[in-house]
Every structure is written in structure tokens, then in C-alpha cells.
Homo-oligomer: A and B are copies of this chain.
């Protein structure tokens, strides 16, 4: 895909700005960002001593877990 067909979206997740580039709509990317942001805040509330890298790793683990559970349900 040529650069001109890529969609650039700037999102804010947990106080940092990220430039997302891809084929998804800006609305989709903002939804993804808001879900990640919410999950990070939830996990931080339960584990306030975690640094941001570990918090984000646990957030990623949570999201992968949700994905695998949905996949199991589908199959």
C-alpha cells in the first residue's frame, strides 16, 4: 500500500501521545486507544505500585486473554 492510502491518527493513551499509522479508520483507532487507556487505569487501580511498562504489559496480557477467550467461544 502506498503511503498516501495510509490513515494517520494521533491518540492519547495513559497520558502519552501515539501516532498510529495503518489502514483502519481514525474512529477505530480512537476506540482501540480508549479501551487500552481504560484497561490501564483499571489495572493501575488494582496494582498502584506497578511501573508504566509493567502496567502496559499486564494490559496487553489482559487483551490477549480476552482475544483467546472470544476465539474459544467462536470455535
The residues of A with any CB-CB pair to B shorter than 8 Å are: 13-14, 16, 18, 20, 24, 28, 31-33, 35-36, 39-40, 51-68, 70-71, 74
Contact = CB atoms under 8 A, between A and B. Distances in A.
A17 B71 CA distance: 26
Contacts of A54: 16, 18
Number of identical monomers bound together in the oligomeric complex:
2
Contact of A63 (B28, B33, B63, B71): B63
A61 B33 contact: yes
Given A24-B65, A53-B55, 14 more contacts: A13-B57, A14-B57, A16-B57, A18-B54, A18-B61, A20-B61, A28-B65, A32-B64, A35-B64, A36-B57, A57-B59, A59-B60, A63-B63, A63-B67
